[in-house]
Structures are given as C-alpha cells and as structure tokens.
Amino acid sequence: MRATSRSRRTVLGALLLCGALTATGCGAKTGDAAGGGKAVAADTSGDTVKVGLLNSLSGTMAISEVTVRDAVKLAIEEINASGGVLGKKIRPVSEDGASDWPTFAEKAQKLIREDRVAATFGCWTSASRKAVKPVFEKNRSLLFYPVQYEGLEQSPYIFYSGATTNQQIVPALDYLKSKGTKSLYLVGSDYVFPRTANKVIKAYAKANGMTVKGEDYAPLGSTEFSTIANKVKAAGADAVFNTLNGDSNVAFFKEYKSAGLTAKAMPVLSVSIAEEEVKSIGPQYLKDQLTAWNYYQTTETAANTAFVEAYKAKYGKAKPTSDPMEAAYTSVYLWKEMVEKAKSFDPEKVRAAADGTAFEAPEGTVTVDGENQHLAKTARIGRIGADGLIDEVWNSGEPIEPDPFLKGYDWASGLS
C-alpha cells in the first residue's frame, strides 16, 4: 500500500506542476485594444490565388449545398478561362462543413489560417453562418454568403449575395395582399429563419389589416404532418405562408393534398422551395403553388441563357439551376470585380472598393451596397408548373435596395 500512496502523491504533484505551467500562459484581457487576433495575409505568391469553398458535402444539408459549390466552381472555371483575377488563376480549396455548425467554424479557421485563402464562398443555414461569423471577423477575412436569409445582420466581413427580408418576404406579402388575401396561416421549420420571418410577417399583417390564423413549427427533419394539415384546414385561412425546410416539405405537401386542400382554394407560398426541391417533392403535389425568389431557371435574360447552358453542359441536362446557385455564381464575379477595382486581394481594400460594384447577373443587374454589403436585387413571384419548373407571375420591376434591419418600414419599427 505504501507504493500506492507514494504514486498518488507523485501524480498529485505532477498535476499541480502542470497547473502552474498553465497559469503562466495568460494573454490579453477582454477589452484590450485589438487583442491578439492578427489577420493572416492571404497567400498570393506565385501565379495563383486560393479561395475557400465551405459547404456541407455530407449530412442533411449536402443535398442543397453541393449544388451551390458546383455553381461556384463553374464561375471559377469561367474566370480562369478568361484570364483570372489580377492576372492570377483562382485555385479553389474545398472543405466539408458536414451539416454541423461547429465543424463549419473549425473548417473556416483552417481555410483562413492554414490555407491562407483570399476569400471564402459558402455556408447555407443561418446557424452555420452565425457559427463562422466570429471566425471571419477575428481573422479579418471575407465570406460570401449566397442564400436568402432572415436579415437583422450586418457583418463587415460578410457579403450577402442572397435576398434579405425586404427583397423576398415583404414583396411576397405585397403580392398576396394585391391578390386579396386577408388571412394567413404560418407553417415553418423550427429554426431561426422561419421564426424571424414569421415575426416580420406578423408585424406586416398587423399593419396591413391581415389576420394570422395560426402558426406552427415542426422540428427540422420532421416528416409527420397530418395534424398540421388538419389544423391548417380547420383554420380556413386565405393562404399559407410556408417556411418549412428540406424533407419536411415533402411530407407537408403530400398531407396537404390528402386533406383535400388545393392551390386554388388555399394557395401555399413557399420561400425555401426552389427547382431542386420541386424535383424531389414531385410536381404532382406542388402544381400551381407559389414561390418567392429573385431568380428562376426560366428568368429571361441573356446572362441566364448562358448560365443555364454552361451549367447543364458541365453537370448534366437533368440538373436544374436555382436561386441560391445563381447567387453563389454571381458572388464569385462580384468578388473579382471588387478585387480588380481595389487592385489588391487585401480584404480591407476589397471592402472599401465594394460600394456600387455591379454585375450583369443571370437574375439581371445586381449592385453592391457598400454600407450593409448586401445586393440590390429584383424580387420575383413564381408559380410551379407541371414540368417541375417555376414560371414567373410577377416581379418588382426594378432592383429593390437591401434593408436588412427593415429601417425603411414603419410597421417594422418594433422588430429589432
């Protein structure tokens, strides 16, 4: 037993020693000017410049995010074929976020610190964006985020190339109102975007004389919607505003049809169903339902004809193009324009050059707002056809200026 107690003492001593060692390593306190977060300069030596592609290649989000990465790769190829950026070819470094938010943060750090990329393109869910935001801010590196989102954010190191609320949800509500919709039922997945979007919708409804007859959230990945369909039916609203995500849409629309609800009697306006999702749900269940986006595969511009043709040539005839893909594709070109305007890959100089940078995107002209780093975009309402494509039934005519905090809307004053 003596041996044991001696070994116990030694272990204790070793632990104390290690503890003492730990205490010597302390660094800056919070509030110290500019802690230790030194920006790592991008590696632009040689004739290439690296950019990061940060998407979920595995896990539940892979379905959507792989298409976005494909679109970014297409843009990079096109740019390289026409001479690159500032005379340098772009070399993409792809990382898998694995549909897991802490992994996104880890991989963002790797791209910036180990690979020393000049900019990163990617993220889909708001949760993954929120997870990487501090990483990009601390390292002063740029992220281009391609998906429509819930607004209420403005990070100096993120460029938002998807729509904010006033470019998608508000125009959609305006459209419904113009069609005589007096009451709404809100169905969404249980996460940040639907909950925030529904807050905006309720504020809008209150100010515009609409009533919200009910509000339901299903856990992400939930596939049992018979009760929600019953609730929607019993409430008898004029329209349903749908912010469900992914798999849940399939179950919801199947149940919706089974309950005898139709696009004619009670249209569903969805903000997360693009061409790719229509394909997996089936037009049988979706025909004539409405969607709100800034771009459809059918959008008629010269740039879009070229984009769709190039995409299908590279990835196959059966692959549709969609709004987030287009926004991701556009963001690469916008980055190129900004870099060339700044004549530097330095994020601070690129940001300074951002204001007013414009690009003839497949969705039409988009312009960067230098202050909030969102884009001015045209809003479009579409109707899902029997062929699985979405036809535009209304658009805002001209690009809408981004307003992520809805400061220009009186009814939204209590929101943030």
60 token code pair: 């539940």
Binding flag, residue 36, another protein (CB under 8 A)? yes
Min dist CB 257 to another protein, Å, is 5
Minimal distance, residue 142 CB to another protein, in Å: 17
Other CB atoms within a 10 A radius of the CB of residue 15 amount to 10
Q: What does the alpha-carbon distance between residue 281 and residue 285 come to, in Å, rounded to a whole number?
A: 7
* Candidate list 83, 236, 282, 356; residue touching another protein; CB under 8 A: 282
Q: Which two structure tokens, joined as six digits, stand for 52?
A: 């990061």
Q: How many whole angstroms separate alpha carbon 15 and alpha carbon 135? A: 33
How far apart are the C-alpha atoms of 170 and 148, rounded to whole Å? 13
Shorter beta-carbon distance to another protein: residue 225 or 293: 225
- Considering only 78, 84, 138, 352, the residue that binds another protein (CB under 8 A) is 138
96: Cα separation from own chain's centroid: 16
Pick from 77, 78, 80, 130 the residue near another protein by CB under 8 A.
130
Contact call for residue 214 and another protein (CB under 8 A): no
Q: If you search the block for the tokens 């100089």, which residue do you land on?
A: 349
Q: Least Å distance between CB 234 and another protein?
A: 6
What tokens does 8 get? 């116990």
3 near another protein, rule: CB under 8 A: yes
Size of the site for another protein (CB under 8 A): 90
Question: Of the two residues 105 and 353, which places its CB atom closer to another protein in the complex?
Answer: 105
Q: Per CB under 8 A, which region of 169-177, 186-194, 358-366, 371-379 contacts another protein?
A: 186-194
Q: Where are the alpha helices (DSSP H) in 179-246?
A: 192-207, 226-235
Among 25-33, 175-183, 357-365, 406-414, which window interacts with another protein (CB under 8 A)? 25-33
The window from 26-34, 162-170, 302-310, 375-383 that contacts another protein (CB under 8 A) reads: 26-34
Q: Under the criterion CB under 8 A, does residue 14 sit at the interface with another protein?
A: yes
* Closest CA relative to residue 388, chosen from 285, 271, 253, 303: 285
User: What residues from 149 to 168 belong to the interface with another protein (CB under 8 A)?
Assistant: 152
Query: What is the secondary structure of 360-411 as a DSSP string?
Result: EETTEEEEE-TTT-BEEB--EEEEE-TTS-EEEEEE-SSPBPP-TT-TT-GG
* Structure-token pair, residue 231: 């609730």
Question: DSSP states of 300-343 as a string?
Answer: --HHHHHHHHHHHHHH-TTPPP-HHHHHHHHHHHHHHHHHHHHT
Shortest Å, Cβ 353 to another protein: 26
**Nearer residue to another protein within complex by CB, 18 or 302:** 18
Beta bridge partners of residue 122, listed in sequence order:
54
Residues 318-347 that bind another protein (CB under 8 A): none
Query: Under rule CB under 8 A, which residues in 52-111 are in contact with another protein?
Result: 57-58, 60, 62-63, 66, 95-96, 98, 100-102, 105-106, 109-110
Select from 27, 69, 35 the least CA-distant residue to 137: 35
CB nearer another protein, residue 150 or residue 326 = 150
Of 177 and 312, CB closest to another protein: 312
Tell which phi-psi region holds residue 338, choosing left (phi > 0), alpha (psi between -120 and 50) or beta.
alpha
Shortest separation between residue 231's beta carbon and another protein, angstroms? 7
Residue 351 falls in which region: left (phi positive, over 0), alpha (psi -120 to 50) or beta: alpha
Question: Closest distance between another protein and the C-beta of residue 4, in Å?
Answer: 6
Q: Rounded to whole angstroms, how far apart are CA atoms 409 and 319?
A: 39
> 291 near 274, Cβ under 8 Å?
yes
- Rank residues 311 and 359 by Cβ distance to another protein and give the closer one: 311
Nearer to another protein, 3 or 81 (CB): 3
- The distance in angstroms from the start CA to the end CA of the chain is 66
Show contacts with another protein in window 261-280 (CB under 8 A): 276, 279-280
Amino acid at site 8: R
Q: Among residue numbers 300 through 319, which ones bind another protein (CB under 8 A)?
A: none
For residue 258, the minimal CB distance to another protein (Å) is 3
x/- track of binding to another protein for residues 217-256 (CB under 8 A)? xxxxxxxx-xxx-xx--x------------x--xx--xx-
Q: How many residues in total does the chain contain? A: 416
Q: Per-residue x/- mask for another protein, residues 109 to 128, rule CB under 8 A?
A: xx--xx----------xxx-
Q: Could you list the beta-strand ranges (E) of 44-115.
A: 48-55, 89-96
Give 228 or 325: the residue with its C-beta nearer to another protein: 228
Q: Which of residues 363-402 bind another protein (CB under 8 A)?
A: none
